[in-house]
């Protein structure tokens, strides 16, 4: 509902339909805009004379209410204002906008109800366009039996399926993982004049089922019929070719895209970069990312993460660290997953101290564990501790260990044992005992090997051994 007591608008001395349109367009809050509309058009208005709004004003306000999710208000407005439209044809565009708004807000059955009631409530007869809009809503939300029933109604009403109708049905076939792609291909061949949307849909369906060769043949057929591929066509092929490891074919399609004057978007670049990184071609991915940035298409966090992960797996750690720096310079904030990939990569390369430094950076950046990332933080911290112990960096290891304890991040039993063993071998029994006490406080009972290590460490201290031998001698003498 509109606000109960809206501030009365300041009416111009002579209020016209054009003035009302400007007032509605200028008001950001669609519900307040509706209140202004109602005040201006009601018989009891404070305006000089009630006016008849223009169709453009009703369409604009209906669209804004629908986009904001106020669908009952939008439906009511269109119903009570239908008399301002000079013809049925003028009423249909805002009506179609309402149907699509119901679909966007996951209410396809409400869209179907509005469609069915349109002839009685709005005096608006059904059309091929309205049938197609409701079909699209039902298919998008997997109400396929209702979509088939509506299609039968459409044919019975004398409306021949258009290319848009076939595209909706084709999308239903291709998006249903259980459906046989042969049925989709038969439907595609029955389309009198398939358009770019038809080709994009069938190409995507073939790719999703691993039929890449057939998808490429369909692409060639499309080009042969002088139907210009769009960025969607190219991105679909590039994504699936890269995902299946067909990098040369993916790069060939990418180059052809440029030759035809189709500009790759963020998804195109990200798909190809991710595929190259997973396929062991991180250097190529890095070159592609540089090209992407030159074209003013800034990578997102996912793209940066793919590149850093690929570089780390190929032991190109300096390049990975440089990419992380560039990412932060561009205002992107790395998350725990991205830091983790670089930290683990450094640990695997024996660069434990650098890994610990990046762990400190992650903490200083305020990246704290939560329910989702808790196990990831635990794994990262334990990996760093293990790597530091392996390199003999025990002072740094104890700093990281204390930080881990402060942040209540769990230490694995194997890491506990490694810390005790490392400190004991360096005769630092105070820290070894400190770790054992922490183990006991967490009810992590040390294994026999851990006890053996710490007892051996104490035994190896000369003073302790001498006192024990002296006590033993006294006992044997007595």
Q: How would DSSP label each residue in 4-28?
A: SSPPPP---SS--HHHHHHHHHH-S
> Rounded to an integer, what distance in angstroms lies between the CA atom of residue 82 and that of residue 84?
5
pLDDT tens-place values along the chain, 478 residues long: 445 455 556 666 677 888 888 888 998 899 998 988 888 877 444 545 567 788 888 888 988 898 888 888 988 888 888 888 788 888 888 899 889 988 888 899 999 999 999 998 888 999 999 999 999 999 888 888 898 899 899 999 999 888 888 898 898 888 877 788 998 999 899 888 899 999 999 999 999 999 999 999 999 999 999 999 999 999 999 999 999 999 999 999 999 998 999 999 999 999 999 999 999 999 999 999 999 999 989 999 899 999 999 999 999 999 999 999 999 998 889 999 999 999 999 999 999 999 999 999 999 999 988 888 899 999 999 999 999 999 999 999 999 999 999 998 988 888 988 888 888 887 777 888 788 888 878 887 777 776 766 667 665 665 555 544 554 454 455 4
> Rounded to an integer, what distance in angstroms lies between the CA atom of residue 27 and that of residue 366?
40
SS (H, E, C) 408-452: CCCCCHHHHHHHHHHHHHCCCHHHHHHHHHHHHHCCCCCCHHHHH
> Rounded to an integer, what distance in angstroms lies between the CA atom of residue 348 and that of residue 317?
11
pLDDT given at position 290 = 93
**Tokens standing for 80?**
């009570």
pLDDT given at position 7 = 58
pLDDT given at position 208 = 93
User: What values do phi and psi take at 32, rounded to 5?
Assistant: -70, -35
Closest CA to 461 of 435, 437, 436, 428: 428
The sign of the dihedral angle between the CA atoms of 58, 64, 66, 68 is: negative
> Rounded to an integer, what distance in angstroms lies between the CA atom of residue 253 and that of residue 235?
9
> Rounded to an integer, what distance in angstroms lies between the CA atom of residue 135 and that of residue 196?
19
Where do the domains of the chain lie?
A: 1-159
pLDDT given at position 240 = 95
> Rounded to an integer, what distance in angstroms lies between the CA atom of residue 111 and that of residue 99?
5
Domain 1-159 annotated CATH 2.40.30.20: no
Closest CA to 420 of 381, 394, 393, 387: 394
pLDDT given at position 471 = 42
**Tokens standing for 307?**
């590149």
pLDDT given at position 466 = 56
The residue length of the chain stands at 478
CB within 8 Å of 348: residues ≥ 6 apart: none
pLDDT given at position 44 = 42
Q: How would DSSP label each residue in 29-62?
A: SHHHHHHHHHHHHSTT-SSSS--PPPHHHHHHHH
pLDDT given at position 303 = 92
């Amino acid at each position: 509902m509109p606000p109960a007591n809206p501030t009365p608008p300041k009416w111009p001395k002579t209020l016209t339909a054009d003035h009302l349109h400007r007032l509605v367009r200028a008001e950001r809050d669609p519900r307040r805009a509706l209140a202004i509309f109602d005040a201006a058009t009601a018989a009891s208005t404070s305006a000089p004379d009630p006016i008849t709004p223009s169709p453009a004003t009703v369409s604009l306000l209906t669209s804004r209410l629908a986009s904001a999710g106020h669908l009952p208000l939008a439906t009511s407005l269109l119903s009570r204002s239908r008399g301002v439209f000079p013809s049925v044809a003028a009423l249909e565009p805002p009506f179609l906008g309402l149907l699509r708004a119901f679909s966007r807000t996951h209410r396809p059955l409400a869209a179907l109800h509005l469609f069915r009631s349109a002839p009685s409530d709005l005096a608006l007869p059904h059309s091929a366009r309205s049938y197609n809009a409701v079909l699209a809503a039902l298919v998008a939300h997997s109400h396929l039996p209702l979509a088939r029933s509506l299609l039968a109604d459409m044919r019975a009403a004398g409306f021949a399926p258009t290319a848009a109708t076939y595209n909706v049905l084709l999308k239903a076939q291709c998006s249903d993982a259980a459906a046989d792609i042969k049925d989709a291909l038969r439907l595609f061949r029955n389309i009198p004049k398939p358009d770019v949307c038809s080709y994009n849909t069938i190409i995507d369906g073939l790719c999703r089922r691993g039929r890449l060769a057939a998808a490429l043949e369909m692409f060639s057929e499309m080009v042969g019929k002088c139907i210009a591929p769009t960025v969607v066509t190219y991105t679909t092929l590039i994504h699936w070719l890269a995902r299946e490891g067909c990098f040369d074919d993916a790069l060939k399609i990418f180059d052809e895209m440029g030759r035809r004057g189709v500009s790759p978007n963020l998804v195109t670049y990200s798909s190809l970069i991710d595929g190259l990184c997973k396929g062991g071609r991180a250097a190529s991915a890095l070159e592609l990312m540089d090209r992407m940035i030159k074209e003013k298409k800034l990578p997102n966090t996912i793209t940066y993460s793919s590149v850093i992960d690929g570089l780390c797996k190929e032991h190109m750690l300096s390049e990975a660290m440089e990419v992380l720096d560039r990412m932060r310079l561009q205002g992107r904030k790395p998350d725990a997953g991205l830091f983790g990939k670089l930290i683990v990569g450094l640990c695997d390369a024996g660069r434990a101290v650098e890994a610990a430094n990046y762990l400190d950076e992650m903490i200083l950046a305020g990246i704290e564990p939560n329910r989702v990332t808790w196990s990831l933080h635990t794994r990262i911290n334990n990996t760093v501790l293990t790597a530091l112990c392996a390199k003999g960096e025990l002072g740094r290891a104890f700093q990281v260990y204390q930080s881990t304890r402060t942040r209540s991040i769990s230490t694995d039993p194997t890491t506990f044992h490694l810390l005790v063993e490392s400190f004991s071998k360096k005769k630092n029994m105070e820290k070894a005992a400190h770790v054992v006490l922490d183990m006991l406080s967490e009810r992590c009972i040390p294994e026999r090997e851990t006890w053996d290590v710490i007892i051996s460490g104490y035994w190896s201290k000369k003073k302790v051994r001498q006192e024990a031998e002296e006590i033993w001698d006294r006992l044997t003498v007595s």
